[in-house]
Structure 1
Amino acid sequence: MNELDQKINTHFPGLVVRKDLVKTVKGNAIVPSYVLEYLLGQYCATCDEASIQTGIKTVKEILRKHYVHRNEAGLVRSNIKEKGRYKVIDKISVALNDKADVYEAEFSNLGIKKVLVDSGTVKIHPKLLVSGVWCIADIEYEFTEEKNASPWIMSTLKPIQLSHFSFDDYVEARKQFTTDEWIDLLVQSIGFNPDMFGKRSKLTQLVRLIPFCERNYNLIELGPKGTGKSHIYSEFSPHGILISGGEVTVPKLFVNNSTGKIGLVGYWDCVAFDEFAGKKKRVDKALVDIMKNYMANKSFSRGVETLGAEASMVFVGNTQHTVPYMLKHSDLFCELPEKFYDSAFLDRIHFYIPGWEVDIIRGEMFSSGYGFVVDYLAEILRSLRNYDYSDRYKKHFTLSSDISTRDRDGINKTFSGLMKILFPHDGATKEEIEELLRFAIEGRKRVKDQLMRMDSTYNNVCFSYIDAEGKNNPVTTLEEEENPNHYHKTIAVEEDGIIPDTAEPIVQPVNHQPLTVLKEQHLTFQENQKGISFDTLLGPYLIGATEITVTDPYIRLFYQMRNFMEFLETVVKHKAPDEEVDIHLLTSEDDFKSEQQKENLEKMKKSARALGINFTWEFDDTGTIHARHIVTDCGWKISLDRGLDIFQHYEMNDAFTFTNRLQQFRPCKAFEVTFIKSEGVEAGN
């Protein structure tokens, strides 16, 4: 254990667990992480290795014996019948049978229904009535000849969640950690290695926790696939529920007028909508309207009656384009379904997490250190919903008077949530408070800036704060700094359509080198010649291309893969940031390490997507390709007799050599290249 892990175990004994143990015990059990960590917390919440190994065996045995796999449900039902009584771990939901005036349970994996449940159990655990709860239950079998009677009897039921904790002890233990240590502890509790994240990225991860500790908090995260947007809402807490964006209805979410049954917002602290993006998704307009009212007023109507609820709303979805592309052609909400692409609805969002800043999850990003048993942290966060920390900045800073009440509410709720998570003991310095305040302002500004692009009725707002010395401190978003040419463009719509922005600057290659005059030519290079790079050799012929096909049968071994990755880098450098390029690779399959080859190509595909490169690849089934060339849709074919393999061996594992970092310092192999112009394409630029 490192120093932080030792400190965690010292101040939170029995409440933390080593995070890599979840994968160790999970096997093929399809259960949320909080279920597994509940069990690990019972048997492995220690730093003693021998006890951990014994605990792992115990947890594995519990899962083996009592977790119900659907394909083994028949065997488990038989065990219950033969033994008379058996303990199972399953997801249980309860419904009222009003004809018989009884509550009946249904076991999701075990496949049994109409199991009688007493009213007292339902009163203690009302979430059983909505979507189901993971439980440990004792089931008995008693056959009866009565026609409508069920032979299944539930003798005990215990939801898998923490039974008690001391909030005061939690706050006292927090005081023993520095801010950086506490942030790392929380990041490890989520399951990530904090060494793989910068401070801003860590805060972005922690914002995902705010809906659990702040009532009626409205959060949206849009970004590339594979960044773990929905993980926290499905795996992290028994008080949150993740539902598919396409499965939402008014009765399910709010209230069923025919039965009077309250929906999800009445039972869960956080309701998250997965796969929320998608322009073509069908959405009920009535649902959007009632959500607008709920997100603004914390209430919804049922006939003549108005009901209130505390559930936070989270919307997560995937984007298909880069940020510069979205800012040039539309806005950062452009992926949403048409009915939700509504300024009145989006104005209710308190914070927009920039999902494009979140790294795609990789294996080395997961933590093997200690973190809170997630169920314990979930209960802490839930108890924090009773506090309000939104005024903790006001002794040092004042929000600009230009900021509206709705903007102010969004900033205050985000700031309050971050303060609860990081400083429940109220021990933040002025500098730490300012950092969180700026982050909260930025997240709301990202929403408002896009609304001003969508709807010309929104006035320009100066998002800033004033310190005690009277200095005004403006706040900008990161994408505003990176894309100043596109960020403040207004997409105004009049009767005759969209008014184009004609003030677009001419985009130059990132390296700012003067463009080479393009011409048909044949070049020969000598062995060990230096000063050659893909940027100078190939880059000018790739400018303006939107489709590129690379044919090279030898993209197999690691160094060949790296060569191709550097070719992709060259394309990125020479394309405009607000454009996208389709690149297709035709190569041969490795006879010995095919799976590794595919894995590396897929990694490139995911990485390139975030930069506006749509990379696809295929293997040549004929085994007859020998030529190596690059063909662009802007009229050039580049024939390379060695393909991209033009460099001599160099130390690829040494990050401190210039031959590793810069191609022009590598000696090359002897090779030839020919630039051929297609019919109808004029030479030059």
Structure 2
Amino acid sequence: MELKDKILKHFEGKVVRKDLTALVKGNNPVPAYVLEYLLGQHCAIDDEEIIKTGVETVRNIIKNNYVHRSDAELVKARIRNSGSYKIIDKINVSLNDTQANMYEADFANLGIRKVPIADQMVLDNPKLLSGGGVWCILTVGYSHADDINMRWLVVDLKPIQVANINLQEYINLRSEFTTDEWLDLLMHSIGLNPEYFNKRDKFIQLSRLIPHVENNYNYIELGPKGTGKSHVFSELSPHGVLVSGGDVSKARLFVNNTGKGAIGLVGYWDVVALDEFEQEKGGKRTDGDLVKIMQNYMANQSFNRGKETYQATASMAFVGNTKHNVPYMLKNSHLFESIPEGYIKGAFLDRMHMYVPGWEVSILKSAVFSTEYGFIVDYLAEILRELRKSDFSTLLDDTIRLDGSLTTRDKTAIRKSFSGLVKLIYPHQDLTEKEVLELLDFSIEGRKRVKDQLYIIDETFRSDPVEFKYTILSSGKEVFPETLENLNYRAEVEVREELNEDNSEARIEKPRLNLEPHEVEIKDNQTGISFKKLFGNYLKGANNITIQDPYIRMYYQFNNLLEFCVMLGNNKEPDQEINLEVVTWNHEEYMSDSIGFFEELVLSVQGLGINLTYKMEQHHDRFIASDNGWKINLGRGLDIFEKIEGRFNVAELDQNRRKCKECHITYLKI
């Protein structure tokens, strides 16, 4: 059964086709969860006629009821003429306790302020008081009486959110999907086409949801512009609020000064995200007291208001742009260099549970947006909110033991990140050991990225270093996860050292390498990898080499084989010839294409001193075997590189610049 059919079978009425959101949105600045709430009511089914009618209905609702700021006066006239009218607008409520002793609403787009609103409406929807504003469908009335101070009134109000969800049903239905299918469903749900993302990319995208599913989770993502860092926090949940990092204050975040010390944003929202969290502009300095209060809240989930101490569960997310590329930061500064100076303090940054590498996320283009079915984001938001009540980190305890050198904050960060990822990907808590370790490695990497920078920023951390490692209880094996940027940076340094040696006029013969059997793990998006680095030393001196790879079929796979031949040609002595046999396969209808490609390759590589032959035989294993005594098992064959994007990309000419696919390569002495 195709994924779309599975989704509609198990979640009909809770999913929507994602391209419809863009179709009805147009230039309207309406959050996705508002539009999908409406689409879910009118076209959450795979029937083109119903969808067509539903889209038209939603368009009419937006046209007739959504308030554009430019049309505010026209809408006010419509309300006045009809006596009352239903609108969609974002409203914020505050208590006027000085004169009227009543709650009053401000309308973001309609532009009217201090409109009386019934106490019961506010009691039923306390988030109206948060200061962040809530999107609502409401009926606004107008009075023509002569003896009143305020002609506008709120007749009826309904926040835009899903009424009821069944968490257990959601958890049970997870078992109907494979892990890859579920990941793809979640990717569709946040509006992205999973075909354009490898598994690590999907983890990075979905990690933006962890603050929505974990209480008091502290998250930061820094990277280039245009990668969609703030989208999840502004569009995909009515329980999160996105504010500009330059506009935050103690009053707005913790103690709201508009209502005699009313609690600020952290008291009302599940997630408070600070956007454009970068260096201050125009000489504006960071409020040191705000940093201290935030630092205390991120550590203790509480803040003081006068003599009182208040608890809150809001997660904090910080998203911003980087100024330099990663190698520059690793060599010359640190990965937090672009955030305001007042926050670059060890005590504050140590509260971060995960630093997501935003530089790994490609700039979003129209092709990567989903046109398939995903959860209505409001439905997903309610599910995630329910899951905040649970802790799934205990799943680690039977599988691994974290190193004793790790601090309590390190362990808490890793466990919270792991718990959040399990809630997102395995809400039914049915994981294999391999899947547990996969999520754990990603969680450790997110925390290690923070700690590595703390060693640079604050010397007090250097005096008590920790070791990011864990022991697998079933085997006793110790694992040392590393951040991908550190691996890539080391690889780039090695490449440059090799180039300098190769270009040196006074070459000194290197001592012969002492090669040993071992295994290499390549991560998704890892760079600094080349055929020369992986295979060159192990194929030195070989005269007869066999490659068995059943998936040399597509044009780019034949190009990989050509690059392998070029590596062999550059790796051997000038007068040496190598017999290279390739064993592969293709479907009968495409066999003639493969043979045609091979015949071209045979002629092309002759000048390199490579005698290429090929066999079409069906085998499962992928390996390189040579007569110098080495066999190299290939997890993915030669197909280890991601697709190269764009027409002009340096990665086309330099394998070291290419992103890799996750795989394992094992070197055996035979």
Q: What's the TM-score, normalizing by structure 2? A: 0.73
The aligned counterpart of 2:429 is 426
5+ long unaligned stretches in structure 1: 487-503, 518-652, 664-685
Task: Give the residue type in structure 1 aligned to 2:133.
Answer: G
Measured in 2, the distance between the counterparts of 1:299 and 1:343 equals 20
- Per the TM alignment, residue 512 of structure 1 is displaced from its structure 2 partner at its CA by 7.0
The aligned counterpart of 1:344 is 347
Q: 1:317 aligns with which of 315, 320, 336?
A: 320
Q: Work out whether 1:474 is the aligned partner of 2:480.
A: yes
Q: CA RMSD in A?
A: 2.4
Measured in 2, the distance between the counterparts of 1:164 and 1:512 equals 66
- May I ask how many residue pairs the two structures share in their alignment? 506
Task: Give the residue type in structure 2 aligned to 1:514.
Answer: N
Measured in 2, the distance between the counterparts of 1:144 and 1:515 equals 92
Measured in 1, the distance between the counterparts of 2:154 and 2:303 equals 36
Asked if the contact 1:349/1:410 (under 8 Å) is kept, the reply is yes
- Per the TM alignment, residue 30 of structure 1 is displaced from its structure 2 partner at its CA by 1.2
Measured in 2, the distance between the counterparts of 1:360 and 1:26 equals 21
The aligned counterpart of 2:215 is 215
- Per the TM alignment, residue 377 of structure 1 is displaced from its structure 2 partner at its CA by 0.2
Q: Deviations over 1:381-417 (max 9, x none)?
A: 0000100001111111111111111100000000000
- Per the TM alignment, residue 514 of structure 1 is displaced from its structure 2 partner at its CA by 2.1
Q: Work out whether 1:514 is the aligned partner of 2:485.
A: no
The 10-residue stretch of structure 1 (328-337 or 260-269) with the greater mean CA deviation from structure 2? 328-337
Measured in 1, the distance between the counterparts of 2:246 and 2:645 equals 49
The aligned counterpart of 2:8 is 9
Task: Give the residue type in structure 2 aligned to 1:481.
Answer: L
Measured in 2, the distance between the counterparts of 1:506 and 1:389 equals 42
Asked if the contact 2:414/2:447 (under 8 Å) is kept, the reply is yes
Task: Give the residue type in structure 1 aligned to 2:251.
Answer: P
Task: Give the residue type in structure 2 aligned to 1:333.
Answer: F
Q: 1:457 aligns with which of 457, 460, 470?
A: 460
The aligned counterpart of 2:111 is 111
Task: Give the residue type in structure 2 aligned to 1:261.
Answer: A
Task: Give the residue type in structure 2 aligned to 1:424.
Answer: P
Asked if the contact 2:207/2:421 (under 8 Å) is kept, the reply is yes
Q: Work out whether 1:403 is the aligned partner of 2:376.
A: no
In structure 2, relative to structure 1, the CA distance for the partners of 1:279 and 1:461 (3 Å cut) is farther
The aligned counterpart of 1:89 is 88
Q: What's the TM-score, normalizing by structure 1? A: 0.71
1:25-174 pair list within 5 angstroms? 25-98=24-97, 99-129=99-129, 130-148=131-149, 150-174=150-174
The aligned counterpart of 1:273 is 274
The aligned counterpart of 1:262 is 263
Which protein has the bigger helix share? 2
Measured in 1, the distance between the counterparts of 2:242 and 2:501 equals 47
Measured in 1, the distance between the counterparts of 2:499 and 2:226 equals 28
- Per the TM alignment, residue 259 of structure 1 is displaced from its structure 2 partner at its CA by 1.0
1:573-588 pair list within 5 angstroms? none
Measured in 2, the distance between the counterparts of 1:318 and 1:510 equals 32
Q: Deviations over 1:128-161 (max 9, x none)?
A: 112211100011111222252x111211100011
Q: Deviations over 1:21-51 (max 9, x none)?
A: 0111012221111100110011011111111
- Per the TM alignment, residue 506 of structure 1 is displaced from its structure 2 partner at its CA by 11
Q: Deviations over 1:634-656 (max 9, x none)?
A: xxxxxxxxxxxxxxxxxxx999x
Measured in 1, the distance between the counterparts of 2:402 and 2:313 equals 26
Q: Deviations over 1:176-195 (max 9, x none)?
A: 00111000100110000001
The aligned counterpart of 2:513 is none
- Per the TM alignment, residue 507 of structure 1 is displaced from its structure 2 partner at its CA by 4.5
Q: 3-state DSSP class of the match of 1:112?
A: coil
Measured in 1, the distance between the counterparts of 2:8 and 2:470 equals 40
Asked if the contact 2:344/2:457 (under 8 Å) is kept, the reply is no
Asked if the contact 1:347/1:447 (under 8 Å) is kept, the reply is yes
The aligned counterpart of 2:628 is none
Q: 3-state DSSP class of the match of 1:227?
A: coil
The aligned counterpart of 1:294 is 297
Measured in 1, the distance between the counterparts of 2:494 and 2:430 equals 48
5+ long unaligned stretches in structure 2: 507-643, 655-670
Measured in 1, the distance between the counterparts of 2:148 and 2:397 equals 68
1:564-579 pair list within 5 angstroms? none
Measured in 2, the distance between the counterparts of 1:195 and 1:481 equals 26
Measured in 1, the distance between the counterparts of 2:390 and 2:296 equals 24
Q: 3-state DSSP class of the match of 2:67?
A: coil
Measured in 2, the distance between the counterparts of 1:209 and 1:119 equals 34
Measured in 2, the distance between the counterparts of 1:345 and 1:427 equals 36
Measured in 2, the distance between the counterparts of 1:76 and 1:654 equals 47
Measured in 2, the distance between the counterparts of 1:144 and 1:113 equals 19
- Per the TM alignment, residue 472 of structure 1 is displaced from its structure 2 partner at its CA by 1.1
Q: 3-state DSSP class of the match of 1:483?
A: helix
The 10-residue stretch of structure 1 (106-115 or 269-278) with the greater mean CA deviation from structure 2? 106-115
Asked if the contact 1:68/1:88 (under 8 Å) is kept, the reply is yes
Asked if the contact 1:279/1:335 (under 8 Å) is kept, the reply is no
Q: Deviations over 1:199-257 (max 9, x none)?
A: 00100111100000100000000111111100100001000000000100001100147
Q: Deviations over 1:424-479 (max 9, x none)?
A: 11111111011001110111011001101112221221101111122211111111
- Per the TM alignment, residue 124 of structure 1 is displaced from its structure 2 partner at its CA by 1.1
- Per the TM alignment, residue 107 of structure 1 is displaced from its structure 2 partner at its CA by 1.4
1:587-602 pair list within 5 angstroms? none
Q: Deviations over 1:107-139 (max 9, x none)?
A: 111122222211111011111112211100011
The aligned counterpart of 2:338 is 335
Q: 3-state DSSP class of the match of 1:460?
A: coil
Task: Give the residue type in structure 1 aligned to 2:318.
Answer: F
Task: Give the residue type in structure 1 aligned to 2:270.
Answer: D
In structure 2, relative to structure 1, the CA distance for the partners of 1:510 and 1:350 (3 Å cut) is farther
The 10-residue stretch of structure 1 (417-426 or 105-114) with the greater mean CA deviation from structure 2? 105-114
Q: 3-state DSSP class of the match of 1:307?
A: strand
Measured in 2, the distance between the counterparts of 1:127 and 1:212 equals 16
